[in-house]
């Protein structure tokens, strides 16, 4: 976490410097002679976003009270390996859920009536995914 915090502080300084250089370069350009607002504003917002992420990560690191395993030089690989959960390796329900979401957005773009069909398929897919291990061959 310490490396991530330092990275975002470095990115904040980099984007701030690039913003100033970009603005001055636009002012000194002989053909323009004025500030190009879109690039200046975008680079300034990149600097601000890096600052916010760095501040958040530094607060989280301070609230943890200690270093994470990846911050210690004597840590093993298994020290930072938490249980990520259980995922069904042969489940088709996430694919159906993704297809219904794609159909939902297609319905919003093309015809609103398609969204109702997508919501029905999505609801069936979500219920099937949640209750996958309560019925059929994989019932527990």
| pLDDT tens readout for residues 8-56 | 999 999 999 999 999 999 888 867 778 889 999 999 999 999 999 999 9
The DSSP symbol for 66 reads S
3-class state of residue 131 by DSSP: coil
**CA-CA distance, 72 to 7, in Å (whole number)?**
17
pLDDT band at 133 (very low <50, low <70, confident <90, very high): confident
Least Cα distance to 115 among 100, 128, 127 occurs for 100
Q: For residue 138, is pLDDT > 80?
A: no
**Which residue has better confidence, 113 or 140?**
113
- The predicted-structure confidence for 46-100, as pLDDT tens digits, reads as follows 999 999 999 999 998 888 877 777 778 888 877 777 777 777 778 899 999 999 9
Q: Angle between the 112-130 and 93-109 helix axes, to the nearest 10 degrees?
A: 160
DSSP character string of 96-120: HHHHHHHHHHHHHHT-HHHHHHHHH
3-class state of residue 75 by DSSP: coil
Tokens 């991530």 identify what position?
4
pLDDT at 71: 78
pLDDT band at 120 (very low <50, low <70, confident <90, very high): very high
Tokens of 3: 């490396």
């Amino acid at each position: 976490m310490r490396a991530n915090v330092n990275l975002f502080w470095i990115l904040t300084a980099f984007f701030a410097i690039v913003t100033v250089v970009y603005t001055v370069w636009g002012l000194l350009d002989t053909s323009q002679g004025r500030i190009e607002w879109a690039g200046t504003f975008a680079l300034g917002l990149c600097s601000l976003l890096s600052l916010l992420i760095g501040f958040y990560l530094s607060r989280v690191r301070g609230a943890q009270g200690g270093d994470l395993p990846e911050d210690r030089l004597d840590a093993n690989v298994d020290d930072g390996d938490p249980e990520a959960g259980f995922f069904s390796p042969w489940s088709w329900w996430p694919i159906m859920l993704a297809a219904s979401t794609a159909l939902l957005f297609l319905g919003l773009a093309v015809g609103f009536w398609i969204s109702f069909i997508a919501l029905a398929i999505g609801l069936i897919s979500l219920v099937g995914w949640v209750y996958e291990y309560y019925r059929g061959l994989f019932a527990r």
